[in-house]
Chains A and B, each alone.
Chain A
Amino acid sequence: MSSSSSSSSQMGELVADKHVRYILMSEKKESFESVVMDHLRMNGAYWGLTTLDLLDKLPSVSVDEVVSWLLTCQHESGGFAGNTGHDPHVLYTLSAVQILALFDKLDILDVAKVSSYIAGLQNEDGSFSGDMWGEVDTRFSYIAICSLSILKCLDKINVEKAVDYIVSCKNLDGGFGCTPGAESHAGQIFCCVGALAITGSLHHVDKDLLGWWLCERQVKSGGLNGRPEKLPDVCYSWWVLSSLIMIDRVHWINKAKLVKFILDCQDLENGGISDRPDDAVDIFHTYFGVAGLSLLEYPGVKAIDPAYALPVDVINRILLTK
Chain B
Amino acid sequence: MASDATVPLSERPEWSDVVPLSQDDGPNPVVPIAYKEDFRETMDYFRAIYRSDERSPRALRLTEEALRLNSGNYTVWYFRRLVLEELDHDLYEELKFIETIAEDNSKNYQLWHHRRWVAEKLGPDVAGMELDFTRKVLSVDAKHYHAWSHRQWALQALGGWENELDYCHGLLEADVFNNSAWNQRHYVITRSPSLGGLEAMRESEVSYTVKAILANPGNESSWRYLKALYKDDRESWISDPSVSSVCLKVLSRTDCFHGFALSTLLDLLCDGLRPTNEHRDSVKALANEESDTNLASLVCTILGRVDHMRANYWAWRKSKITVAI
Contact = CB atoms under 8 A, between A and B. Distances in A.
B177 to A, nearest CB: 4
Interface string B84-116: 000000000000000000000000010001001
Interface in B202-245: 219-221, 224, 227-228, 231
Interface residues of A, number: 50
Contact of B309 (A181, A182, A251, A257): A257
A152 interface: no
A89 interface: yes
Contacts of B220: 216, 228-229
A172 B39 contact: no
Contacts of A135: 109, 113, 116
Contact of B310 (A36, A69, A178, A215): A215
Nearest to B46: A85
B179 interface: yes
A85 B29 contact: no
B260 to A, nearest CB: 10
B224 A252 contact: no
Contact of A183 (B47, B73, B179): B179
A99 B30 CA distance: 28
Interface in A116-149: 133-135
B113 A133 contact: yes
Interface in B178-192: 178-180, 183-184, 186-187, 190-191
Nearest to B109: A135
Contacts of A227: 143, 179-180
Nearest to B190: A181
Contacts of B2: none
Nearest to B153: A179
Interface of A is mostly: loop
Given A39-B74, A172-B228, A182 B149 contact: yes
**Contact-residue size bin, chain B (C-beta under 8 Å from the other chain):** 35 or more
Given A215-B310, A228-B220, A35 B75 contact: no
A72 interface: yes
A82 interface: yes
B145 interface: yes
Interface of B is mostly: helix
A276 to B, nearest CB: 17
Interface string A199-225: 000000000000110011010100000
Contact of A84 (B24, B36, B70): B24
Contacts, number: 124
Contact of B50 (A30, A85, A211): A85
B29 A181 contact: no
A133 B309 contact: no
B220 to A, nearest CB: 4
B75 A252 contact: no
B31 interface: yes
Given A85-B24, A229-B177, A229-B178, A29 B29 contact: yes
B179 A229 contact: yes
Interface in A12-44: 28-30, 32, 35-40
A148 B41 CA distance: 38
A270 interface: no
A35 B74 contact: no
B292 to A, nearest CB: 21
B78 A212 contact: no
B13 interface: no
A252 to B, nearest CB: 4
B45 interface: no
B291 interface: no
A161 interface: no
A69 B78 CA distance: 22
Contacts of A211: 313
A183 B180 contact: yes
Contacts of B186: 172
Interface string B244-275: 00000000000000000000000000000000
Contact of B312 (A36, A69, A251): A251
Contacts of B73: 38-39
| Best-buried of A35, A83, A215, A230 by chain B (most CB within 10 Å) | A35
Given A35-B36, A181-B187, A216 B75 contact: no
A171 B47 CA distance: 43
Given A134-B117, A172-B231, A254-B311, 16 more contacts: A29-B29, A30-B29, A36-B70, A72-B25, A86-B75, A87-B74, A171-B183, A177-B149, A181-B190, A182-B149, A182-B183, A183-B180, A228-B221, A228-B224, A252-B312, A257-B309
16 contacts: A29-B29, A36-B72, A87-B78, A133-B113, A179-B149, A182-B149, A184-B183, A215-B310, A218-B309, A227-B179, A227-B180, A228-B179, A228-B220, A229-B177, A251-B312, A252-B312
